[in-house]
Amino acid sequence: MTAPYVIAMCRFAPVRAFAADGTFLPEALADNVARHCALVERAAGDHGARLVAFPEFALTGHAMLSNDQWVAGSLTFPGPEVERIAQAARRAGAYVVIQAAERHAAFPGRYFLSAAILTPDGGVGLVHRKNYAFSLRTSPIDVHDAFVAAFGPDAFLPVLDTPLGGLGLTIGAEPHWPEAIRSLAMKGAELVINPIAASPQIDYLGRPGAAVVRQARAFENMVYFAMTNVDGGEGAPLPQIYDYKGAVVGEGAGDFTLATVDMAGLRAWRATPAANFLAQIQPIHDTALEAAPWPRNILPDAPAADAARIIGVEAAVWRGMRAFR
């Protein structure tokens, strides 16, 4: 049986790793890496954290850049920067979640927005490449066939089986799509970690419902859901942790938001009669989901040159939905 354990969500203010003209600044990345390492060891040493997570763009900061500029500032998983943080994870005996733009030899000239789980043995246990939410990075479905050839079909929404339970990742606004978190839960996720970079508000379009999305995902999937955000100054949403019933369980402690995860309690709740939403899912939804398929392989040869390409695809999909013709 998994004993209760502490998780720590880091509220992190990165040094921006790009100059005003978009030039990559390796020394800023190195500074952010060093601070990641120090915080991992503090979270484990001061609070006994078994899992430590950092926000979206915590290694480089966010900037409005071209594809080529992002590629220049991208990391590899594994790679030298990741290895340094992985060794901190090993020293701390903790799992560590990091997020960065990622380049990969199988996709030259492109970058993914990726998050990784580093393991207590100093390895890379899982890499999740961001699927949802609007941006000009390459999404796995944009290069679907090549992505499957490189990583296998299970790489779209991977789950890592660990002594802490099933761990899954979701980046930024991906929880706005309930299918993403439901898929993780159906594949065995019990704790979902969500690095975001939201400032000054949780949703860049200012939609009120965005404030309750993560709590709802925890409740409907009976998972622990842990979000960590950049330190964006006054008004920026604080990291938050919800339990498998949707209750707020995170507590602030300086640079960290902490919670105790009771995995045995989660599993017992899922076994409670009439409480398990996952066990009650009926096979009546496939047709509705197939009515609006986002196309595969829309960018097989090169990333999108501008936003108009992606907006055009969205409009075409919407026009093709049977229920809204």
Q: Which residue bears the tokens 């978190």?
A: 181
User: What is the Cβ-side half-sphere exposure of residue 299, based on CA atoms within 13 angstroms?
Assistant: 22
The answer to whether 248 and 242 are in contact (CB under 8 A) is yes
Residue 48: which of 98, 96, 92, 103 has the closest Cα?
92
Report the percent of the chain where pLDDT is more than 90.
78
284: Cβ contacts below 8 Å, ≥ 6 apart: none
Q: Which residue has the higher pLDDT, 169 or 298?
A: 169
**Cα separation, 1 vs 4, whole angstroms:** 10
pLDDT bucket at 323, cuts 50 / 70 / 90? low
Q: What does residue 220 show for φ and ψ, rounded to 5 degrees?
A: -75, -20
Tokens of 113: 């927005």
pLDDT bucket at 324, cuts 50 / 70 / 90? low
pLDDT tens for 10-31 read 999 999 999 999 999 999 999 9
pLDDT tens for 279-304 read 999 988 777 777 668 889 999 998 88
How many secondary structure helices (H) and strands (E) does the chain include? 9, 12
pLDDT bucket at 174, cuts 50 / 70 / 90? very high
The domain locations on the chain are: 5-281, 283-325
pLDDT in the model for residue 292: 66
DSSP 8-class letter at 26: H
The answer to whether 137 and 101 are in contact (CB under 8 A) is yes
pLDDT tens for 247-262 read 999 999 889 999 999 9
Task: Provide the 3-class DSSP secondary structure of residue 277.
Answer: coil
H/E stretch holding 90 reads helix 80-92
pLDDT tens for 51-80 read 999 999 999 999 999 999 999 999 999 999
Exposure pattern of 161-172 as b/e (b: 16+ CB <10 Å)?
ebebbbbbbbbb
**Cα separation, 107 vs 4, whole angstroms:** 41
**Cα separation, 99 vs 167, whole angstroms:** 15
pLDDT bucket at 136, cuts 50 / 70 / 90? confident
For residue 325, is pLDDT > 60?
no
User: What is the Cβ-side half-sphere exposure of residue 43, based on CA atoms within 13 angstroms?
Assistant: 34
48: Cβ contacts below 8 Å, ≥ 6 apart: 5, 6
CATH fold group of domain 5-281: Nitrilase/N-carbamoyl-D-aminoacid amidohydrolase (3.60.110)
Report the percent of the chain where pLDDT is more than 70.
98
